[in-house]
Chain A
Amino acid sequence: MKFHFSMQSILEGLSEAAFAITLFYLVASDRYLSYVTPSVKPYLYFTVLMLLLWAVSSGKMKRLTYKTRYAHCFVLLLPLLVILVPHKPIQTNSRYSDTSAFFQSEPISAMSIDQQASVYFDDDEAIASPLEAVAMTTLEDAVVDNQVEESRQTEARTEMQTEIRTVAQEDAEKRVIVGNDEFYNRLNAIYRDPSHYNGYEIIVTGFVLNNMDALDEDTFIPARLAMVCCAADLTPIGMPCKYKGASGLKTDSWVTVSGVINIGEDGQPFIDAVDIAPAEPVEAYVYPY
């Protein structure tokens, strides 16, 4: 009898629990990063707790009913279905490929200059990506493919493994290696003080963005998708790169560019490409804040 009367509460509780557990899994496994930025994390945990509270207390919240209504449970079950059916994250710019609207010639800089140092060293800012390791090796492979001197290669590898490269190190070698997790921070640092980095070597991985009206024949952008709030606002960002065969590169294919930082007539930095090698796609997005 009791069971009969609280069927609706039970169904609601089950939907809530199922959604909460799935959401918890998404957050705990960092998969949520395909949809929203890390800043939403505490809110998502709050949602998990709230829904679990509702689910376990559905007995307490029970209302006596004879008719069991369940249509409203789909408020949670529908998103759950969408989450559970496998799907790929948005990987490249293809979504915007025929518009110049989303073109950004520079990484957006919001943080004030005086924050520079703290941003620079703050490793917590870096977003842990499940694909980090894969991406790293790719970058290394790219270096190998390019047959850069052996000593340098080992050097680069150690540096990328230690991850934190100080300004001093970079300055000493006059080289910036843009780690996949540091894409925004490193590029932003260069944009903030282009003249300092003028002539530095740079290694960066991104997808080829060369189908914008605003780009010259011999310019493309090794870009990454940046997420400010959620997957609805993904925008390519990156530093333009001068390369003779730029228009011949396959749009949206992933490449590792090594080159030299230069300053254009407009005062904006760009990369003079020395070498371009194919790379494995980096699945993580860039989270500027």
Chain B
Amino acid sequence: MNTPIYVVSGFLESGKTMLLNQLLSRSEWQSAKVGVVQFEMGETVLQGCVKSLMFSMEQTMSQPELVAEQMAGLIASERPDALWIEWNGMVAMEQLYKLLNASVLKGKCSLKGMLLVGHAEMLPNLLGRTGPALLSQVAECDCIAMRGQIDRRLKAQLKRLNPGVKLLQFDAYEAIQRQLTKEREHAGSRLSLTFLLLAGIYLLVKAVLNAIGIPADTIVNIFLGIILQAVPFLLIGVLLSSVLQILVPQRLIERYFPKSIGMGMLFAVLGGFLFPVCDCASIPVFKGLLRKGVPLPAAVTFMLVTPVINPWVIVSTYYAFSGDLFIVASRICFGIITAIFIGTTYIIWPAGDNLFRETRYEEILCSCGFYEDTTDGKLKERFWVVMRHAQATFFDVGKYLVIGTFVSAILQVINIQNTLGVYQGAGAVVVMMCLAFALSLCSSSDAIVARSFLSQFSLGAIMGFIVFGPMMDIKNVLLLSSSFSKHFIIRLLLTTFGVCFGVVYLLSKMGGM
């Protein structure tokens, strides 16, 4: 028989033993045989339980086999209807899973419900400070029993960590009991159902679009075109970023990355030339560089310049403008100058600390778990850590890519470029930059589209299109928002727009474009 396991976790003094006693004294459990295992030296649970075991955390960490054996013994001898576990809030859930996955326990029990006990006034503080243990508990539990008033902010915070979590009052015993023990649908069947639902919605939307005269198949073709173009590069980007993060020790970068900011930015530009990927790849690498302590001005310069001046883009620009070297050279120069200027703004006005999303839950919860200590260890193990990390980043960033691409494909098909009138001078540059932002073209395909505007717009405006577009567009903003703070993204966007406009407008005037 497979014994169901219910977990109650929380910090010391949070009242989890009291709650457990309350739950076990309910009529549902009166006639049941219940075992209790406490991973904390504290009050004992007596009511209704057949037998209880108690282990200290030290013991659990140092002799997990022994603990698992004793638990297996309890299950074998008492054959309880359920096993309740009281877990210490300071320890990551992963420890418990490892224990339950031990060979002596395998197949004898399965985790059926998880409850976190907390205090509404203390939880927000603890969340930010206590590291991955509590976060992993919030992320993994089915419901949270909370003392005190749950305000909107806390609720939003918890929902972000765990969208499906149920928040209940501490004394809502019946509801807690129901939440904890209810049959949960299999994730596989939920996934299939969601897929079928999406398929239905998709077919419906297609039909509606066709009915109102928007060619849905064209949107589909453009969407797939951009996706198939971007996914390989996104993969390369997340792999590079993960290698950087996990295999390259921080001290190496600290030692070899140029100390002076000027040299650092030059280094960044050179890197851009040698890095044959589009913006989809440069954003994850940007994040990796920052995490490794590369100064922000240099990293920003690198991220912005790469998609404008990488070899692929140079070739496709050369091709698109029928071998016009002047345009190719202008694009490269404008790109480099703009990127360096933007980098410089971050030297003059440093960005401060709020670079990343407010609380870096994502990083702590990153499915590769604890990658801080992974620059050592066997190469083979580290390879799999890189893979795990890359995979997690791929899925994380990928959702923004898919959304951004959809928006861009729709905008292209409804032909917003046709609604544009005729613009001159500065107005034309601004219009083309906005268009580049909205269309979110891949930087190696935007030149050919830009060329087609030659009859409508001045070369200066075209320059705005092919210099600003690769640096910033809807897709990039979404990709950035997977890990950076709103504040940072808005500043970067506005700076890029302003600087890019200034550079392109002035230089193209001087160059007589």
Contact of A101 among B106, B384, B399, B456 (CB under 8 A): B456
Tell whether B354 is near chain A: CB-to-CB under 8 Å: no
Known: A32-B228, A66-B111. A102 touches B384 (CB 8 A): no
Total inter-chain residue pairs, C-beta < 8 Å: 221
| CB-defined contacts of B14 to chain A, threshold 8 Å | none
Q: Is the Cβ of A64 less than 8 Å from the Cβ of B228?
A: no
Contact with A along B308-335 (1 / 0, CB 8 A): 0000000110111011000000000000
Q: Once the chains are docked, how many angstroms separate the CA of A44 from the CA of B415?
A: 29
Tell whether A85 is near chain B: CB-to-CB under 8 Å: yes
| CB-defined contacts of B361 to chain A, threshold 8 Å | none
Q: Once the chains are docked, how many angstroms separate the CA of A140 from the CA of B248?
A: 62
Tell whether B60 is near chain A: CB-to-CB under 8 Å: no
Q: Is the Cβ of B396 less than 8 Å from the Cβ of A72?
A: yes
Q: Is the Cβ of A75 less than 8 Å from the Cβ of B320?
A: no
Contact of A229 among B218, B369, B418, B445 (CB under 8 A): B445
Contact with B along A264-289 (1 / 0, CB 8 A): 00000000000000000000000011
Closest beta carbon of chain B to A165's beta carbon, Å: 25
Q: Once the chains are docked, how many angstroms separate the CA of A43 from the CA of B233?
A: 8
Tell whether B232 is near chain A: CB-to-CB under 8 Å: yes
Interface residue tally on A, bucketed by range: 35 or more
| CB-defined contacts of B396 to chain A, threshold 8 Å | 72
Of B187-195, B251-259, B285-293, B487-495, the one contacting chain A is B187-195
Q: Is the Cβ of B399 less than 8 Å from the Cβ of A1?
A: no
Contact of A233 among B142, B231, B449 (CB under 8 A): B449
Q: Once the chains are docked, how many angstroms separate the CA of A30 from the CA of B382?
A: 37
Contact of A82 among B109, B220, B315 (CB under 8 A): B220
Tell whether B433 is near chain A: CB-to-CB under 8 Å: no
Tell whether A167 is near chain B: CB-to-CB under 8 Å: no
Contact of B387 among A4, A7, A47, A57 (CB under 8 A): A57
Tell whether B94 is near chain A: CB-to-CB under 8 Å: yes
Tell whether A263 is near chain B: CB-to-CB under 8 Å: no
Closest beta carbon of chain A to B370's beta carbon, Å: 11
Q: Is the Cβ of B395 less than 8 Å from the Cβ of A233?
A: no
Known: A53-B387, A61-B384, A81-B198. A70 touches B187 (CB 8 A): yes
Known: A78-B402, A229-B444, A235-B452. A47 touches B235 (CB 8 A): yes
Q: Is the Cβ of A11 less than 8 Å from the Cβ of B228?
A: no
Of B28-36, B70-78, B96-104, B498-506, the one contacting chain A is B96-104
Best-buried of A4, A229, A230, A235 by chain B (most CB within 10 Å)? A229
Tell whether B508 is near chain A: CB-to-CB under 8 Å: no
| CB-defined contacts of B388 to chain A, threshold 8 Å | 61, 63
Q: Is the Cβ of A95 less than 8 Å from the Cβ of B402?
A: no
Interface residue tally on B, bucketed by range: 35 or more
Tell whether B57 is near chain A: CB-to-CB under 8 Å: no
Which parts of B190-244 form the interface with A (CB within 8 Å)?
Answer: 190-191, 194-195, 198-199, 202-203, 206, 215-218, 220-229, 231-233, 235-236, 239
| CB-defined contacts of A11 to chain B, threshold 8 Å | 187-188, 191
Tell whether B455 is near chain A: CB-to-CB under 8 Å: yes
Tell whether B42 is near chain A: CB-to-CB under 8 Å: no
Tell whether A34 is near chain B: CB-to-CB under 8 Å: yes
Q: Is the Cβ of B323 less than 8 Å from the Cβ of A73?
A: no
Q: Is the Cβ of A70 less than 8 Å from the Cβ of B224?
A: no
Q: Is the Cβ of B101 less than 8 Å from the Cβ of A64?
A: yes
| CB-defined contacts of B220 to chain A, threshold 8 Å | 82, 85, 87
Which parts of B92-130 form the interface with A (CB within 8 Å)?
Answer: 93-94, 97-98, 100-101, 105-107, 109-111, 114
| A108, closest chain B residue (CB) | B322
Q: Once the chains are docked, how many angstroms separate the CA of A46 from the CA of B228?
A: 12
Contact of B391 among A61, A96, A108 (CB under 8 A): A61
Tell whether A121 is near chain B: CB-to-CB under 8 Å: no
Contact of B455 among A32, A68, A83, A100 (CB under 8 A): A100
| CB-defined contacts of B114 to chain A, threshold 8 Å | 66
Known: A100-B455, A289-B319. A65 touches B229 (CB 8 A): no
Q: Once the chains are docked, how many angstroms separate the CA of A78 from the CA of B398?
A: 11
| CB-defined contacts of B164 to chain A, threshold 8 Å | 67
| A50, closest chain B residue (CB) | B235
The 10 closest A-B pairs by CB, nearest first: A231-B225, A229-B445, A230-B225, A75-B398, A68-B187, A43-B232, A64-B97, A110-B319, A72-B395, A233-B445
- B residues at A contact (CB < 8 Å): 93-94, 97-98, 100-101, 105-107, 109-111, 114, 139-142, 162, 164, 187-188, 190-191, 194-195, 198-199, 202-203, 206, 215-218, 220-229, 231-233, 235-236, 239, 315-316, 318-320, 322-323, 367-369, 384, 387-388, 391, 394-396, 398-399, 401-402, 408-409, 412-413, 415, 417-418, 439, 441-442, 444-449, 451-453, 455-456
Known: A47-B232, A81-B199. 20 other contacts (CB 8 A): A40-B229, A43-B233, A44-B228, A46-B232, A53-B387, A66-B140, A67-B164, A70-B190, A70-B191, A74-B198, A74-B402, A78-B198, A79-B227, A82-B224, A101-B417, A101-B453, A108-B322, A228-B320, A231-B225, A231-B226
